[in-house]
Chains A and B, each alone.
Chain A
Amino acid sequence: MEQLIAELKQRIIESLNLEEVKPEDIPNDDPLFGEGLGLDSIDALELIVMMEKHYGIKLKDASEGKAIFQNISTMADYIAKNRKK
């Protein structure tokens, strides 16, 4: 899980072009959207693309992302359980 979390942080930084953010700046349990990293709906779409590309997970509806992208822990949990690659 720890390896997945580290990998995930790196991929989030890359796919969202968060140049000034380092993996250690993203706490596992802080909100990704709104406060915290301050991500928005377009970032959610990029995260959906990233999950499909790297983990083979396809979301049918963008609203499913809300629960999954709460924070790094919820995201890693969901990926670990549903990944196809």
Chain B
Amino acid sequence: MRKNIVITGYGVIAAKKISKIKHLDFQEFTFPVGEVDYSNTELKNLLGIAAAKELSRTALLGIYALKQAADNAGVTTNTPGKKSLISGTTVGGMDLTEKYWQQIDNHTDIMLQHDCGSCTELTAKYFGFFDECTTISTACSSGANAILEGAEILEAGHSDIVFAGGAEALTKFHLMGFSSLMILDREVCRPFADNRAGLNLGEGAAFLVMETEEHALARGAKILCNFAGGGNACDAHHQTASSPDGEGAYRAMKQALIDANISPSDIQYVNAHGTGTVNNDASEMAALHRIFGEKMPQIESTKSITGHTTSAAGAIEAVICIKKMQENPSLRYVMDNSFGFGGNDTSIIFSSPLECGRPRPPKNITASEAACTPTIAARCEITSEDEIAEIKNYLKPAESRRMGKILKASLLTSLKALKQSGIDVPDAIITATSLGCWENSEKILDDITEPKPTLFMQSTHNTIGSNIAIYLKSHGYNITYTQGAQSLDCAMRKAALLINSGKATSVLVGLHEETTPKYRELMEKNGVTDFQAIHSVAMVVVKKNN
């Protein structure tokens, strides 16, 4: 039987209502938000962090939720076992970067906190008991993907206790970005209502403490619920719009049900992604109808209370799901949906602790397949901007007109590697990038109050992997790691995990990085000199029989 993964604690911080901006220095922004009602100074006081210490709000919110989760699960430095932190964030240290950007030459050290991976490392450092950090950046599904990753690495035996979730602070950067996409509601959002008019952005953090049932019982931990299953799929439709039939959402829910080995009729409650935009809710409802037919379970969106907390949403809503089950013991199975830009769609299912573990069969793989280890079947690398011009052989000018250099480079190396391997569409696309689409982010930072829809749409890290998926129409597993120099290690571990568990037979793994002269100059002042203008490596990983 597969190992049963259980939840033994959680911590959460989020807004309790939608209101005008109070703490972020952006009073001129008139759309309402779900802002956590503590200033940074108050958060630092509560956490015993010196007021003068610069730490991103994303990290502060993350630490707050993690502290609560550790207390809730009774995990301390003395608790034996390997402890991993898996955090979903897309904003990372952007709140500090944008605050200092106009005088960044005098605050170069701020750049050391900018990237998502550094933000997670600084969060972990507060506790001193984490043996490893993994950051997942798939925009609005990051938190849900972190929880799914937690279950996968526990099942594979890579860790003993996982803290998985997400953290995201409100920033001018993404408030203006969403505003330029014209999908913000001036009122409190109305998910699934006929008169819905957009979403409200929010902030917050939530983390679950996850371990195998065996480990939890051995240390005498209280089991709150089981992680029953999860599914990750890509809509592969558009960078900012969901497909009319909700293909990605449908596949994610379907796979989660298969992973949990249950029927749609077993699900009693769905915490929907339900952002309140015309497009998302129509697409999600189409997918829900495809899954549940006429027998719809209770479906709700809690984003009219918390706001859309983007990377934290999947984790905050997982906590809401678990609390629902605690309050109502008749709930046996609940589902948490999270969908991100680029169609990074994830669905996870929890089951009541009264259910005796996951009634999942052993995986349908033969012993010889179980011994498979992955091998690199093809590889393509580019290291200079001149080489990107070759994309012309693959794309028409109209198709590439909006792509920045990292999108062109990553698509080019991916297509060439796939061609070499003779595989048209891989089963999964895994992206590693420490900095993501920095060039576009820098252009946005230079004039942050100007709306720039195209640049914003291509500023999230997962734009790279979803751009490839959209081109290939690849609906398989799609995830992006942003863990500094360890990003590729995370990606390769995942490729092995997907192949060895039988979830994929071919995986496109990419390491894609771009920098600008300004970024290199700033990092040089920080003593880091090994950045290239562009570096893109794509590999096709397949299984190999030992």
Contact = CB atoms under 8 A, between A and B. Distances in A.
Interface in B179-215: 180-182
A60 to B, nearest CB: 9
Nearest to B452: A49
Contacts of B398: 18, 20, 38
Contacts of A38: 398
B497 to A, nearest CB: 34
Interface string B426-460: 00000000000000000000000001111001000
B454 A42 contact: yes
A17 interface: yes
B262 interface: no
B289 interface: no
A17 B401 contact: yes
B43 interface: no
Interface in A1-58: 16-20, 38, 40-42, 45-46, 48-49, 52
B397 A42 contact: no
Interface in B380-423: 397-398, 401-402
Nearest to B398: A38
B397 A48 contact: no
B454 A46 contact: yes
B182 A42 contact: no
B401 A49 contact: no
A67 interface: no
A48 B454 CA distance: 12
Contacts of B457: 42
Chain B interface size, under 10 / 10 to 19 / 20 to 34 / 35 or more: 10 to 19
Interface string B246-270: 0000000000000000000000000
A41 B402 contact: no
A49 B180 contact: yes
B239 interface: yes
Nearest to A59: B182
Contacts of A17: 401-402
B401 A45 contact: no
Interface in B74-99: none
Given A49-B180, A49-B452, A61-B182, A42 B401 contact: no
B286 interface: no
A52 B397 CA distance: 27
Given A49-B180, A62-B182, A41 B241 contact: yes
Interface of B: 180-182, 238-241, 397-398, 401-402, 451-454, 457
